[in-house]
Amino acid sequence: MRLKMLTSAAMLLGFVLVVMWPWVLRQRPHPAGGHPPIRREVGSFQVMFAGYVGACAFSFMTAGCLAALLMRAAREEFSRQAMANVRDLVEGSMEDLRSRGKGGPRP
């Protein structure tokens, strides 16, 4: 259950970050008065933008890894349940054969 919540939270964070795209691009420095933007402002924006893209990528990669762990846990649970079902089937068949054997042979 905790794994499902973490996966959902990572996906939700990724979607929120992607929706924030226009807000992030609005902060880009623009030329003023025919002069290019100040290099320090451009560098600051590039660092912020790289962090934003990195956070988006990290969020979706984390969600993918958590989803893979979730699938592995589900596969292991299904495998355990299948083994229990086979065990119950075999035990039920053995009980059925024993009960038929006690009644004697049928003509």
- Using CA atoms, how far apart are residues 58 and 106, in angstroms rounded to an integer? 70
- Using CA atoms, how far apart are residues 26 and 49, in angstroms rounded to an integer? 11
Residue 37 pLDDT class (50, 70, 90 cuts): confident
Q: Cβ atoms within 10 A of the Cβ of 37, count? A: 13
Tell me the CA distances in angstroms from 89 to 19, 76, 81, 95, 97, one per residue in order. Answer: 52, 20, 12, 10, 12
The two three-digit tokens of residue 7, written as one number:
């996966």
What is the tens place of the pLDDT at every residue in 56-79?
999 999 999 999 999 999 999 999
Q: What is the maximal distance between C-alpha atoms in the chain?
A: 108
pLDDT of residue 10: 96
The answer for residues whose C-beta is within 8 angstroms of residue 13's C-beta and 6 or more apart is 59
Conformational region of residue 59, where left means phi above 0, alpha means psi within -120 to 50, and beta covers everything else? alpha
Q: Are 37 and 30 in contact (CB under 8 A)?
A: yes
Assess whether pLDDT exceeds 60 at residue 106. Answer: no
* Domain spans of the chain, in order of start: 2-29+37-73
